[in-house]
Amino acid sequence: MSRLSTTLAAVCWLSISSPIWAAPVGPAEFTPSQNAQIRDLEQIRRSGELRVLVNQSRNSSGEVKGQAIGVEAVRLRAFIQHLNQQGGANQKKKISLRLIPKPKDQLLGALQRGEGDMVAPGELLDASRMPQVVPSRSIVSQVPMVLVTGAQRASSLDRLSGQSLALSPGSAAGAALTRVNRQLISQKKSPVRVEWVDPSLAVEDVLEMVQAGIYPATLVEKTIAERWLKVMPKLRLGTEVRLDNLQDMHWFFRNDSGQLQASADQFLRDYRAPANQDAAFNQVYSGLYRVHQPLDSVGRERLERVRPTLQRYADKHQMDWLGLAALAFKESTLNPSARGASGAVGLMQVTPSAARSVGVSGIHQLDNNVQASARYLADIRRKFFSSPKLNERERLAFTLAAYNLGPQRVQKLRDEAQRRGLNPNQWFFQVERIAMETVGMGVVSYVNSVNKYFLAYARERRALE
């Protein structure tokens, strides 16, 4: 192999995880129906609304039942108060805040098109190739990336030579890993393999899967890792890695919105995060279900025992059998003898009334239990989520939400999402935001957990089949 091809191999070791339940990779970019507008502070005051493009991760912009748990959600609320105080008595309208969640790698493009007035990513974001975009003053200075592992501590990146490292979409760590891999190659060591995870996962999801041992390690901003360590105590922080040209966190503005940028810089100069900023965050996340490793020795043995039954009924209802397996692991850790609340029994934790509604009895038997669950899921999908506007990935996410919360309630969440300019055909990071705000984290955690188990299985599909 030539020196050039060796270097390219080191830089481009990519392993793309399969999307949820054999779906296309990533949702299409969604642009709300409202016309894009290029505005500065004067026009924003007249409209009474500041449109902020935010990183869709819950760490950055999440809100649960009126409580801001995302770091940018907290900061932006304070910025709105600052703008309204600046306006004084002569301001005809109080400015309200509208968050527009998007994938991190779509934020700056949306800003240039006028879909928002500013960008608040909550993570390191490189805008050096965007001449129309300018940063605010530093929000957090000198932010290193830090290696994060689960039970097995890895003190440095070179200890990961030949192993994989998971990164969420848009992560700033890619450049650092390129440099590390070049060093490893020069030392005649195998490079670190970069696994760009499924777009349904945000940085906090990757950290949870690292804690569970599904992914061996990740590389994230130290401020983010330290925050999530409070609610994921099994995470281990290792060596720090500093990026050559990207060390400070900023907000971003178009270069023709100087008034808004000046107001933001004035605000950020004096802003101090409240001492109890993470109180709501800790309260919401400390008691949430955390995923486990579904493919330890016990999990593999249990999966092999029920695999033929799961495959049979998944095929019958045109489902991916690993999706049923993921649901079964969430419901019962693949235990056919499990008993739960409200009379739920068996591998899929089916209730007698749900089974009767799809014409199945004898649900204490494994075959009938899986048949009832698969038929019930297929029934929900056919009645409520058969629209061609839904891709398969989102169709099944909505089906899972309806399985947990009820179809009519999920449809109401979609209606509210559309009313607010969110994508009603995307569960992850769009309709789920409405669920977080109105019903809490229960259904969001449920869908995310099943999704993570599916992705864990999908990484090893060939071996499992």
What pLDDT is stored for residue 25 in this prediction? 44
Residue 238 identity (one-letter amino acid): G
> How far is it, in rounded angstroms, from Cα 153 to Cα 359?
51
Question: Is it the case that residue 32 has pLDDT exceeding 90?
Answer: no
Burial of 282 (0-12, 13-18, 19+ CB in 10 A): middle
What pLDDT is stored for residue 35 in this prediction? 61
Question: Is it the case that residue 12 has pLDDT exceeding 70?
Answer: no
- Proportion of the chain in helix, strand, coil states, percent, rounded to 5: 50, 10, 40
Question: Is it the case that residue 204 has pLDDT exceeding 90?
Answer: yes
Q: Which of the listed CATH numbers 2.40.50.100, 3.40.50.720, 3.10.129.10, 3.40.190.10 matches domain 143-241?
A: 3.40.190.10
Question: Residue 176 belongs to what H/E stretch?
Answer: helix 173-186
What pLDDT is stored for residue 28 in this prediction? 55
Question: Is it the case that residue 24 has pLDDT exceeding 80?
Answer: no
The CA R_g of the chain, rounded to the nearest whole Å, is: 23
Token pair listed for 186: 């020069």
What pLDDT is stored for residue 3 in this prediction? 34
**Could you give the percent of the chain with pLDDT greater than 70?**
90
Rounded to whole angstroms, what are the CA distances from 315 to 192, 352, 375, 377, 447?
A: 37, 24, 11, 13, 22
Rounded to the nearest integer, the mean pLDDT of the chain is 89
Q: Which of the listed CATH numbers 1.10.530.10, 3.40.50.300, 3.40.640.10, 1.10.10.10 matches domain 297-464?
A: 1.10.530.10
> For the residues 382-397, what does the mean pLDDT come to?
92
Domain ranges of the chain: 41-141+248-286, 143-241, 297-464
What pLDDT is stored for residue 371 in this prediction? 97
pLDDT in tens, 154-166: 666 777 788 889 9
> For the residues 300-308, what does the mean pLDDT come to?
98
> How far is it, in rounded angstroms, from Cα 138 to Cα 131?
18
Task: Give residue 254's pLDDT band: very low, low, confident or very high (50, 70, 90).
Answer: very high
Question: Is it the case that residue 230 has pLDDT exceeding 80?
Answer: yes
What pLDDT is stored for residue 6 in this prediction? 35
Tokens 């060596």 locate to 239
pLDDT in tens, 66-92: 889 999 999 999 999 999 998 877 777
> For the residues 389-418, what does the mean pLDDT come to?
94
> For the residues 133-143, what does the mean pLDDT come to?
95
> How far is it, in rounded angstroms, from Cα 16 to Cα 443?
27
pLDDT in tens, 327-363: 999 999 999 999 998 899 999 999 999 999 999 999 9
Question: Residue 53 belongs to what H/E stretch?
Answer: strand 49-55
E strands, 56-174, in order: 63-64, 67-68, 96-102, 118-120, 133-135, 145-149, 164-167
Task: Give residue 10's pLDDT band: very low, low, confident or very high (50, 70, 90).
Answer: very low
> For the residues 99-110, what does the mean pLDDT come to?
95
What pLDDT is stored for residue 183 in this prediction? 87
pLDDT in tens, 429-454: 999 999 999 999 999 999 999 999 99
- The three-state secondary structure class of 54 is strand
Residues in Cβ contact with 313 at an 8 Å cutoff, skipping those fewer than 6 apart: 319, 324, 370, 371, 373, 374, 375
> How far is it, in rounded angstroms, from Cα 222 to Cα 322?
34
> How far is it, in rounded angstroms, from Cα 141 to Cα 138?
6
Does residue 423 contact residue 30 with C-beta atoms inside 8 Å?
yes
Residue 341 identity (one-letter amino acid): A
Question: Is it the case that residue 21 has pLDDT exceeding 70?
Answer: no
What pLDDT is stored for residue 160 in this prediction? 78
pLDDT in tens, 171-181: 988 777 888 88
Question: Is it the case that residue 134 has pLDDT exceeding 60?
Answer: yes
Question: Is it the case that residue 33 has pLDDT exceeding 70?
Answer: no
**31-40, 319-328, 355-364, 453-462: which has the minimum mean pLDDT?**
31-40
> For the residues 255-281, what does the mean pLDDT come to?
94
Pick from 99, 83, 100: nearest CA to 46: 83
DSSP conformation letters of 283-321 = HHHHTS-----TTSHHHHHHHHHHHHHHHHHHHHTT--H
Token pair listed for 120: 């608040």
Fold for the domain defined by 41-141+248-286: D-Maltodextrin-Binding Protein; domain 2 (3.40.190)
User: Do the two domains 143-241 and 297-464 of this chain adopt the same fold?
Assistant: no
What pLDDT is stored for residue 457 in this prediction? 98
> For the residues 394-418, what does the mean pLDDT come to?
95
> For the residues 217-226, what does the mean pLDDT come to?
94
What pLDDT is stored for residue 153 in this prediction? 66
